[in-house]
Amino acid sequence: MTQLEEAKRGVITEEMKFIAEREGISPEKLRRSVAKGHTVIFRNVRHDWVRPVAVGNVVRVKVNANIGTSRDIVDVRAEIEKAKVAVKYGADTIMDLSTGGDLDSIRKAIMHAVDVPIGTVPIYQAAEEMLAKGKAIIEMSEDDMWRAVERHFRDGVDYTTIHVGVTKEVVEKMKRTKRIVGMVSRGGTFLAAWILHWGEENPFYRDYNYLLELAREYDVVLSLGDGLRPGGLPDAGDELQMAELYTLGRLVKKAREAGVQTMVEGPGHVPIDQIPAQVKLAKVATDNAPFYVLGPIVTDIFPGYDHITAAIGGAIAALNGADFLCYVTPAEHLGLPTVEHVREGVIAARIAAHAVNLTRFEADFRKDYLMSVARGRLDWAKQFELSGDREMFVEIRKERPTKTEACSMCGDLCAIKLIQEMLRKG
């Protein structure tokens, strides 16, 4: 039985106990949220070495890191290193988005290199296998798509992005809708092109019941993909995005009835003032399904700094109900990320998540409280201990400052403390 089915029966699973202890909440509170579909647990029944992770409204905001090969650069060791670095710096999950090389071997290697849940996008593999045969992506058969999904589930992947909401109806709307950027979702684009070429309905939408059967067998969390997310600020909240969202809301309900865990993916590029409304609308449309957002990126004119633009949007999204932040690296829109880009992306997303988590969990706020105390006491050892990135702490502070050395963040702390002591003595 799936975690959702067990929760509905009133059963607290071992995974729920493990997660509840890590989150500092009662197992019963977690069970109730899972039973409603408001929280999901990543743990494929075949992924027996994974450390289960929960995403939803009663647990901490989580962070995902994307890695993966491309057709031009197939360096499995580099991607494994990125996965390890992402986990080291706090990523809760990894998504393998590889599109080049032996995808089955790459996926398995990444899964065995880390102990966090793994997500994938199976349609990428179906498309790549067409290209490897010298064929066009739109020549994929429905069997090709389903085989890719089954293979990923069977290999132990914990959650998969399936662009179920890219329907024939929505693709027809695209012909009448003027978007500035168009479709930026790779998987969504593959399916839209396939629909246009064959004139057939999206197989994942038409045969959604079969998808649910497969997901239930392995207890894979279906991440209902936002194939029509805005790829630029002018497209945020348009007809296409909203049409897909309402479709996903109906599919969430159907999945819950079948005992399958689901979450919903969100935008994209969104002006900062629209983020609260978009998140709340998504929560209403999907009956509080866990919401997984890419960013949102709040400005389009700072390529090379999108880890920052995404962290700003991610913090606002999480504050308004988003549950899961997909990191964005400085290489977004420019190229494949390096290991250092991965580190920067994870840290930026973690800052966004923690900024919200400390408002919800006393233990998280306690860390910031203790850091304030340590700064007030000039206790550098304690500041190092509490630092979210100790390597950066050491890199910047290579030598203990003198009493007159200024701190760029807080001013001349040592001088301030001296003045405070003078004031206390009168």
Is 66 labeled as ligand-binding? Answer: yes
Is 233 labeled as ligand-binding? Answer: no
Is 95 labeled as ligand-binding? Answer: yes
In DSSP terms, 264 is beta-bridged to: 224, 291
Maximum distance among all alpha carbons in the chain?
85
Q: What is the mean pLDDT of residues 369-388?
A: 95
Is 218 labeled as ligand-binding? Answer: no
> Which two tokens mark 269?
């590029």
User: Is residue 4 scored above 90 in pLDDT?
Assistant: yes
Sequence-separated contacts (24+) of 212-218 with Cβ below 8 Å:
212/254, 212/255, 212/258, 212/260, 213/258, 214/149, 214/150, 214/153, 215/153, 215/255, 215/260, 215/261, 216/2, 216/258, 216/259, 216/260, 217/153, 218/44, 218/45, 218/46, 218/153, 218/154, 218/156
Q: What angle do CA 93, 95, 101 make, to 5 degrees?
A: 145
Per DSSP, the three-state class of 408 is coil
Taking only the tens place, the pLDDT of each residue in 397-426 is 875 554 444 455 555 555 556 556 656 665
Task: Determine how many CB atoms are found less than 10 A away from the CB of residue 411.
Answer: 10
Domains located in the chain, CATH noted: 60-360 (3.20.20.540), 363-425 (no CATH)
pLDDT-derived band at 93 (thresholds 50, 70, 90) equals: very high
Residues 6+ apart with CB under 8 A from 155: 46, 104, 107, 108, 111
Is 320 labeled as ligand-binding? Answer: no
Is 295 labeled as ligand-binding? Answer: no
Is 71 labeled as ligand-binding? Answer: no
Q: What is the mean pLDDT of residues 113-124?
A: 98
Is 259 labeled as ligand-binding? Answer: no
Q: What is the pLDDT of residue 398?
A: 78
C-alpha dihedral, 81 to 86 to 88 to 91, nearest 10°: -150
User: Is residue 392 scored above 70 in pLDDT?
Assistant: yes
> Which two tokens mark 270?
């969104």
Residues 6+ apart with CB under 8 A from 98: 68, 69, 70, 79, 106, 107, 124
Is 158 labeled as ligand-binding? Answer: no
Do 162 and 122 contact (CB within 8 A), yes or no?
yes
Taking only the tens place, the pLDDT of each residue in 13-49 is 999 999 999 999 999 999 999 999 999 999 999 999 9
Taking only the tens place, the pLDDT of each residue in 229-263 is 999 999 999 999 999 999 999 999 999 999 999 99
Q: What is the pLDDT of residue 403?
A: 44
Task: Determine how many CB atoms are found less than 10 A away from the CB of residue 45.
Answer: 15
Residues 6+ apart with CB under 8 A from 381: none
Is 387 labeled as ligand-binding? Answer: no
User: Is residue 90 scored above 70 in pLDDT?
Assistant: yes
Is 326 labeled as ligand-binding? Answer: no
Is 191 labeled as ligand-binding? Answer: no
Q: What is the mean pLDDT of residues 283-294?
A: 98
More confident residue, 199 or 411: 199
Q: What angle do CA 170, 175, 178 make, to 5 degrees?
A: 105
Whole-number CA gyration radius for the chain? 23
Q: What is the pLDDT of residue 294?
A: 96
Give the chain's mean pLDDT.
Answer: 94
Is 156 labeled as ligand-binding? Answer: no
Q: Are strands 39-42 and 53-56 parallel, antiparallel or unpaired?
A: antiparallel
Q: What is the mean pLDDT of residues 76-103?
A: 98
Q: Where are the alpha helices (DSSP H) in 37-185?
A: 76-88, 103-113, 122-132, 142-154, 168-176
Residues 6+ apart with CB under 8 A from 335: none
Is 228 labeled as ligand-binding? Answer: yes
Share of the chain above pLDDT 90, in %: 92
Closest to 118 (Cα-Cα) out of 70, 204, 46: 46
Is 333 labeled as ligand-binding? Answer: yes
Is 227 labeled as ligand-binding? Answer: yes
Taking only the tens place, the pLDDT of each residue in 136-186 is 999 999 999 999 999 999 999 999 999 999 999 999 999 888 899 999 999
